[in-house]
């Protein structure tokens, strides 16, 4: 029986690893699964665990207020090594591009344990955009033994970096597995009134990236205010990240705007329900860049660069940065021009087909992928 240690520290990691956990647990005679939470983002992490009915076997509780990435990385390494030495798993599974991912991957390598990286190979080629995620995922890419690439572009990135081809598997992204699972759960659920269940056109907004702290986030907020003032039939729903660097400017600049509704971060089931209801999406989130296209929601990316260009190439996502004038212009065009809106309001399946977790489970337990590799459908 293979012992698999699944390590996560943030909400996106839980969402994207939950399908892998379910797939492994469906083979009880072949896999023993241990869940380890680092607690990197405590409040958001716990809500995601609850949405998938998951409970960690170990909680390292590394979260501290206003933590510096360097201090966090050190605490993660110090907390993970004794646990890995105690459990001696066959494989450590990590997902994505957080400090938890880099620290767990490096710990596994130094302790002589195999490392499997889910959502491997995403790159912007700019070490500071996104920061520190671009370096986190490159660290994992250097030490991982199995690389589960969500797209052909991600696979090719790894091959160009010299990763052995026999260790790279084109699986699709597990976010589509999770989205399909949760969408079925919330299909008949009405939105609560505070989440915009009225007749207005709902724009879902998420913005919390570290590289946007300061003037870029203020510019973004001013753009949202202008959009709200320009379109009386629109409601901008903005679940605000708990980081004070986000909370302060957002509430200062948007707190009194009647057509902007600021809420606490949403549980994943509520987020999926809002995505189903939304007219369009403004986001700097990696996961939402993958989910919204699968639901046919036009998406404007509030970043200067994206490591997820597949939906951009398909014409359903556009990168607009944090410049106020450009955000207002692009959003206004989608709200005012039906032809422009219809051109982007198409469901595309460029990130996954709902079978990614099955493919990953096959590799973890059998060393090979028997389900055919993921092929996108635009």
Map tokens 């380890």 to a residue.
Answer: 36
Q: Can you name the CATH fold of 2-173+352-366?
A: Rossmann fold (3.40.50)
Active site residues: 97, 119, 133, 208, 210, 241
Q: Could you tell me if 89 and 113 are in contact, meaning their C-beta atoms sit under 8 angstroms apart?
A: yes
Structure tokens at 46: 């716990």
> What sign for the dihedral angle of Cα 360, 366, 368, 374?
negative
Domains 2-173+352-366 and 189-344 in one fold: yes
Map tokens 């400017």 to a residue.
Answer: 249
Q: Could you tell me if 99 and 76 are in contact, meaning their C-beta atoms sit under 8 angstroms apart?
A: yes
Give pTM, 2 decimals: 0.91
Distance CA 4, CA 24 (A): 9
Q: Could you tell me if 5 and 91 are in contact, meaning their C-beta atoms sit under 8 angstroms apart?
A: yes
CA end-to-end distance (rounded Å), the chain: 39
Distance CA 134, CA 6 (A): 21
Superfamily assignment of 189-344 in CATH?
Glycogen Phosphorylase B; (3.40.50.2000)
Q: Could you tell me if 34 and 72 are in contact, meaning their C-beta atoms sit under 8 angstroms apart?
A: no
Domain parsing of the chain, residue ranges: 2-173+352-366, 189-344
Q: Which residues of 173-192 are buried (b: 16+ CB within 10 A; e: fewer)?
A: bbbbbbbbbbbeebeeeebe
3-state DSSP helix/strand/coil % of the chain, to nearest 5: 45, 15, 35
Q: Which residues contact 303 (CB under 8 A, 6 or more apart)?
A: 129, 130, 209, 211, 212, 284, 319, 321, 322
Q: What is the pLDDT along the chain (378 residues), one digit of tens a residue?
A: 999 999 999 999 999 999 999 999 999 899 999 999 998 877 778 889 999 999 999 999 888 877 888 999 999 999 999 999 999 999 999 999 999 999 999 999 999 999 999 999 999 999 998 889 999 999 999 999 999 999 999 999 999 999 999 999 999 999 999 999 999 888 877 777 777 657 789 999 999 888 888 899 999 999 999 999 999 999 999 999 888 899 999 999 999 998 999 999 998 999 999 998 899 999 999 999 999 999 999 999 999 999 999 999 999 999 999 999 999 999 999 999 999 999 999 999 999 999 999 999 999 999 999 999 999 987
- Please state whether the peptide bond connecting residue 81 to the residue before it is cis, i.e. omega within 30 degrees of 0: no
């Amino acid at each position: 029986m293979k012992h698999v240690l699944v390590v996560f520290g943030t909400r996106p990691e839980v969402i994207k690893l939950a399908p892998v956990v379910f797939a492994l647990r469906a083979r009880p005679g072949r896999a023993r699964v241990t869940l380890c939470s680092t607690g990197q983002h405590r409040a958001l992490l716990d809500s995601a665990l609850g949405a998938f009915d998951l409970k960690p076997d170990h909680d390292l509780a590394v979260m501290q207020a206003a933590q510096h990435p360097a201090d966090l990385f050190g605490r993660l390494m110090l907390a993970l090594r004794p646990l890995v030495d105690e459990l001696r798993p066959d494989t450590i599974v990590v997902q994505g591009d957080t400090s938890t991912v880099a620290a767990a991957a490096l710990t596994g390598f130094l302790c002589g344990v195999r490392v499997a990286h889910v959502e491997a190979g995403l790159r912007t080629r700019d070490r500071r955009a996104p920061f520190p995620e671009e370096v986190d995922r490159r660290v994992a890419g250097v030490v991982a033994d199995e690389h589960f690439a969500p797209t052909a572009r991600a696979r090719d990135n790894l091959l160009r970096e010299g990763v052995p081809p026999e260790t790279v598997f084109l699986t699709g992204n597990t976010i589509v597995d999770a989205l399909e699972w949760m969408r079925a759960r919330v299909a008949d659920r009405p939105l609560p009134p505070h989440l915009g269940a009225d007749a207005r056109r709902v724009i879902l907004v998420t913005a919390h990236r570290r590289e946007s702290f300061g003037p870029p986030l203020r510019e973004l907020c001013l753009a949202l205010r202008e959009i709200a003032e320009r379109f009386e039939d629109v409601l901008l729903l903005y679940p605000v990240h708990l980081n004070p660097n986000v909370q302060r400017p957002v509430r200062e600049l948007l707190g009194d705007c009647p057509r902007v509704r600021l809420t606490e971060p949403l549980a994943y089931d509520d987020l999926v329900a809002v995505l189903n209801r939304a007219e369009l999406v403004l986001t700097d989130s990696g996961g939402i860049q993958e989910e919204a296209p699968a639901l046919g929601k036009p998406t404007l990316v509030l970043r200067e660069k994206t490591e997820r260009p597949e939906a951009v190439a398909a014409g359903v996502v556009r990168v607009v940065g944090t410049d106020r004038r450009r955000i207002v212009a692009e959003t206004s065009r989608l709200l005012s021009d039906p032809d422009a809106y219809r051109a982007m309001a198409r469901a595309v399946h460029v990130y996954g087909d709902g079978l990614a977790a099955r493919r990953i489970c096959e590799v973890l337990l059998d060393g090979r992928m028997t389900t055919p590799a993921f092929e996108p459908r635009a």
